[in-house]
Structures are given as C-alpha cells and as structure tokens.
Amino acid sequence: MVVLSKSEPPPWLATGIVLSVQSAVAVLGFLNLLASRRPSAGHICLFLAAFVAVFVLQGVHCAPRAGRFRARHGRRTLALQALLTYAPLLALGLTWAGMPGFLAGSALLILEPPLSVVAFVAAAVLTGACTLLAGQQPLGVAIGVLSCGVNGLMVYGVTRIASWSAEVRRARDEVARLAVEGERLRVARDLHDLLGYSLSAITLKGELVARLVGKDTERAHAELREVLDISRQALADVRCVAHGYRQLSLTAELESAARILTTAGITVEVHDERLPLREETGTVLATVVREGMTNILRHSAAQNCRITVSRTAGTLVLDMAGDGIPVDTGERMARRSGGGLDNLARRLEGIGGTFRACAGEDGWFRIFAECPAGPADPPRDVSGSSPSPWLSGRRPADSVR
C-alpha cells in the first residue's frame, strides 16, 4: 500500500481537474446556447447526450487506473470520441466549439508521436472547418481553433504531469522497498557469517566441557571461560549487526579458528604473512575464515586444516583447505542456492575480489579468496624478520603469533 504524504496530490486529482474544466466549458456552451437563440428540445437533448458521452470517454482517457484498457481499446474509444465531438458541432455551432480541445488532448495521450501531433493539428483544423460550415464568422472560427489548442494542451499537460508524478512515486517506493530488502539481506548475511562461527564454537566447547566434567576439572573450567568469551563476542557481534557495521581482525580470526579447530581434534597449519590490510579488506577475509571454519566443523569429519594468507603480484590471497568431506559434497555444492558461500562471493565482489570454493576428489574442500592489494595495502617492512612459519600442533594458541 502506498501512503501519500500531505504534500503529494492524490492520483485522481488530474482527472478531476480535466473533467471539471470540461464540465465548466460545457456549462458555458450550454448557457451560450440558451442565450443566443431559443433552442429546440432536440438541440438541448443533443447537447446533453453528447456531453455525457464525451465526459465518460474523457474520463477513460485520463484515468490513471485505465491504462490497460487504453492500451487495448484506446484507438477505438478515441475514434468514438471524435464522432461524438464533431457530429454535434455541425448542429450546435460555436456553443459546442470547446469540446474538440478535449479530443485533441486525448489524441496526444493515446497516440504515439508523430501520429499524436498530426492528430492534434488535424483536430484544430477540423474544428475551424466545422465552425466555418456552421456559419460562423472568421472571428468565431479563430475562437474555435484557439479553444481547441488550449484545451488540448491543458488536458495533455495536466494528465502527463500527474502520470510522471505517479511514476516518480512508484520509483521512490521501489527504491525504498529495495533498500528494506537489502537491509534484511545484510542482517541475514551478517548473522549467518558472524554468529554461525560463534554458535558452532559454543556447541563444540560445550560438548568438550561435558566430557571433561569429573575428569579434568581445571581444563573444564578453562574451556568454560572460553565459552563465556565467545558468547560475549557473539553478543557484541549482534549489536554490531544492528548498527550496520562489524570490523574484524584477520589475525585474530586466524588465531581463534586455530584454537577452535584444535579443540575439535583437528591438526591446524596456519601461514600468515601479517600483511597490513585496509579495514574493509581485513573484515571480508576474516569473514571468509569464519565461514570456512564453520563449514569444516559442520559438514566434514576433518582431521587436517591448512590456512594460508599471502600476497602475489599485487593480489592478496587467502587459501583455506580441510579434509574429511563427504563424497557427495561436489553435487550438493552444485545444487545449492544462496547460503554462506554465496554471501562470501558477494562480499568479495564488493571489494573488487573473487571467491572460489571447490571439493576435490582427494577428499579436501578448498576455499580461495582473492582481492586487490591496493595502495593502502603495501608490504610491511620486514627487514630483520621473516614471515611466520607454518604452524601446527594441538595448541595453536601457544604457537600462532
């Protein structure tokens, strides 16, 4: 439903104005008919019947909700209006000379250029010819032609302006709808990308704590503290989603992913060159790490995981791989519609990058995220030091730096 503001005219106003003007012109003509001579009952009936008919046809030609009818039958109704306009003009003379202008306006509305312009000019010329045949003097002929042109332009101008206003209103409503839809998609995407990781980690550590209770109380307490930390971070993520922006650290996500995967009994190797990143680039790559780790935990029986962040030829590359995927992973990926991987592809496209995910015949699932290493991402001065080595083991929190 479209809600109009107080400053916006209703859609029917233009049609109302046109029909009101047409009625006023008809009243003036009828008064002239009564004043000029004593009309017969036949002239009065002809005037009233012809006016009612052209009034209805004019409403059809200007009504905003009659677009489909005009598209299908517009030329027929225009021809009928022409007949009902010029036939009475021969009998009623100058008193009916105001009606052809509304026919000329209808021609501009229904017909396509240049035919509409030809019809408009023809209506004015025919009006002058009919008034001349009706015995009018040159001044009366000129009045008839001028009245036709003015009324025709009024009908066309008022109706088209209202139509353009309605189109602008529909476009604005569509923009608003797309904005709302885009915001819903953003919230859904962010909740999936941010909370999927946290909830998977909480579930995994909760299961671990349940196994440790009564066996290793100290480690159970340590895992519970990590569950609390993750839950607090999840709450912060939800608040950031509500505010529309969440900044993530790629390095922090790599360390967190290594801890969570190791807790699940997965051997993790991380190679991070610690390149300086723009906030947006780092957030997108960190989201890729989160989604990749979530997929490993949910959809595979992985025993090994490798994550590499490197820079080659001006391009930042994130390569993440895990084994233990089901045999039908490739088929399920081909049938997927939407979801986390598609969200990642859209995020990478937003920063000018590309995203690929593939399931190999060797049982490994790999994710590749590439994005430009722009001017804001220059290589850091690493003189006197070397990139972090490949890291592995059961406690990445102790080895990832």
* Cα 401 from Cα 384, distance rounded (Å): 17
pLDDT in tens, 123-170: 999 888 887 877 778 887 888 888 889 889 999 998 888 888 878 888
Give mean pLDDT, residues 335-361.
80
Number of structural domains the chain divides into: 2
The whole-angstrom separation of Cα 195 and Cα 336 is 21
Question: What CATH code is carried by the domain that includes residue 377?
Answer: 3.30.565.10
Q: Which residues have a Cβ under 8 Å from the Cβ of 219 and sit 6 or more positions away?
A: 212
Residues 259 and 381 in one domain: yes
pTM over 0.85: no
Among candidate residues 266, 275, 223, 255, the one with its CA nearest the CA of residue 364: 266
Based on the fold, state whether residues 166 and 254 are members of the same structural domain.
no
**Residue 206, in any domain of the structure:** no
- pLDDT, residue 245, reads 55
Lowest-confidence pick of 44-53, 66-75, 134-143, 175-184: 175-184
Please choose, from the candidates 69, 304, 298, 125, the residue with its C-alpha nearest in 3D space to the C-alpha of residue 196. 298
Q: What is the pLDDT of residues 179-189, one digit of tens each?
A: 777 767 766 77
* Residue 151 shares a structural domain with residue 288: no
Look at 202-216, 233-247, 253-267 and tell me which has the smallest mean pLDDT: 233-247
Given a cut of 90, whether residue 118 has pLDDT beyond it is yes
Is pLDDT at 85 greater than 80 in this prediction? yes
Domain membership flag for residue 159: yes
Query: Is 201 domain-assigned?
Result: no
Query: Are 40 and 127 contained in the same domain?
Result: yes
Q: What is the dihedral of CA 62, 65, 67, 69, to 10 degrees?
A: -100
Which pLDDT belongs to residue 57? 92
User: Backbone dihedral region of 393: left (phi > 0), alpha (psi from -120 to 50 degrees) or beta?
Assistant: left
Highest mean pLDDT among 81-85, 178-182, 264-268: 81-85
8 Å CB contact between 322 and 260: no
Three-state SS string over 78-93 comes to HHHHHHHHHHHHHHHH
Domain that holds residue 316: 250-401
| pLDDT tens track for 99-115 | 899 999 999 999 998 99
Q: Give the Cα separation of 373 and 396 in Å (integer).
A: 28
Q: Which of 131, 160, 176 is the last residue of a domain?
A: 176
User: 254 and 166 share a domain?
Assistant: no
Work out the percent of the chain whose per-residue pLDDT is above 70: 84
